[in-house]
Amino acid sequence: MTTEAKTLHIFGTNISKSLSPTIHNAAFAHHSLPHTYTIEECASLSDPRIQSLLRSSSFGGASVTMPHKLTAFDHCASTSDSANRIGAINTLIPTSTGIRGDNTDWSGLYALITEYEPSSNPNPNPDSESESKDLVGLVIGAGGAARAAVYAMLQARFSRVIIANRTLAKAERIIADFADLESGAEMRAVQGLEGLRASGLGGDVDVVIGTIPGTVTTEKDFEGLLGKSGGLCVEMAYTPKVTPLMRVVGKQGWVVRDGLEVLLRQAFVQYGLWTGRGAPEGVMRGAIGED
């Protein structure tokens, strides 16, 4: 049976150097699929050219990046619960009833944090749905990526989630929006890294997810902030390759996962949504030299 060739895209601005085409095209080739993934720079998803791509019978799906993760809702016939909760769409999937919007940012993060099983964790089984993992999470920032990070921690049943953001009201908004999730987690908001340091809450953190640009902080901002000599740090920023947060926690013996690993993890999920196949993870890693 011949598979119909599909064209997939990434929509966004300043994405000429995106690694997503390399990752997904390598996976298509591995499975002998006649699909092509292209970069489509656009100022708006409402652009007639983009609308033509979305309506094409050959449209096979798309990644959505900044600044279109919010406006993507306007172009979907249906959306996943996670996308609605997080308030952002990063994946478009063609279905028989129209385009479905989803969010794989959180699921990529979820995979990383549920794999982390510190010896001090009394309930390390990520398949346990009913009990807290007794882990304390810290999310730095309160934008769309931060919402995905908080959602992932709540789905992983952390016992406490702390959100540190320069604008306290934005952190408090996330807590209010997720208050009805039955995770059992205590949620706290603090004003910036200074507020976190003053509160002393950083001393209990097991997992930290950084969601702010790596160029706006220094190592001094993070020194002495996290009291433990080991934990998991997931840095969502791509530049610089080693951010100040990564440098500081690395010196403290933390496990560090960088922005490329986050990109790969969410791409594995996307590939399954688009093709119905398991992602060839080794091939996708190797395509960008991360094997």
Only one residue has tokens 């540190």, namely 164
Q: Are residues 74 and 115 in the same domain?
A: no
Q: Is 286 helix (H, G, I), strand (E, B) or coil?
A: helix
Q: In angstroms, rounded to a whole number, what is the distance separating the alpha carbons of residues 279 and 31?
A: 9
The reply to whether 1 falls in a domain is no
pLDDT given at position 291: 76
Q: Are residues 141 and 230 in the same domain?
A: yes
Q: Are residues 85 and 228 in the same domain?
A: no
Q: Angle CA(131)–CA(169)–CA(203) in degrees, nearest 5? A: 50
Q: Are residues 85 and 146 in the same domain?
A: no
Q: Are residues 145 and 46 in the same domain?
A: no
The reply to whether 2 falls in a domain is no
Q: Which residue range forms the structural domain that includes residue 278?
A: 7-103+266-287
pLDDT given at position 121: 42
Q: In angstroms, rounded to a whole number, what is the distance separating the alpha carbons of residues 215 and 241?
A: 11
Q: What is the 3-state secondary structure (H, E, C) of 65-81?
A: CCCCCCHHHHHCCEECH
Q: Are residues 58 and 144 in the same domain?
A: no
Q: Are residues 94 and 127 in the same domain?
A: no
pLDDT given at position 134: 86
Are the C-beta atoms of residues 62 and 51 closer than 8 Å to each other? no
Q: How many CB atoms lie within 10 A of CB 256?
A: 17
Mean pLDDT, consecutive 10-residue stretches, the chain (291 aa), reads: 91 96 98 98 98 98 95 97 95 97 96 80 42 83 94 95 97 95 88 95 96 93 90 93 95 94 96 98 95 76
Q: Are residues 241 and 279 in the same domain?
A: no
Q: Are residues 13 and 146 in the same domain?
A: no
Q: Are residues 66 and 153 in the same domain?
A: no
The reply to whether 25 falls in a domain is yes
Q: Are residues 121 and 252 in the same domain?
A: yes
Domain of 130, CATH number, reads 3.40.50.720
Q: How many CB atoms lie within 10 A of CB 164?
A: 28
Q: Are residues 41 and 123 in the same domain?
A: no
Q: In angstroms, rounded to a whole number, what is the distance separating the alpha carbons of residues 61 and 99?
A: 8
The reply to whether 173 falls in a domain is yes
Q: In angstroms, rounded to a whole number, what is the distance separating the alpha carbons of residues 228 and 116?
A: 15
DSSP 290: -
Q: What is the pTM of this model?
A: 0.90
The reply to whether 201 falls in a domain is yes
Only one residue has tokens 């390598």, namely 26
Q: In angstroms, rounded to a whole number, what is the distance separating the alpha carbons of residues 36 and 21?
A: 8
CA atoms within 13 A on the CB side of 204: 14
Are the C-beta atoms of residues 187 and 99 closer than 8 Å to each other? no
The reply to whether 95 falls in a domain is yes
Is 140 exposed, middle or buried (CB count within 10 Å of its CB: 0-12, 13-18, 19+)? buried
Domain of 35, CATH number, reads 3.40.50.10860
Cis omega (within 30 of 0) for bond into 34: no
The reply to whether 219 falls in a domain is yes
Q: What is the dihedral of CA 94, 100, 105, 108, to 10 degrees?
A: -60
Total count of domains within the chain: 2
The reply to whether 274 falls in a domain is yes
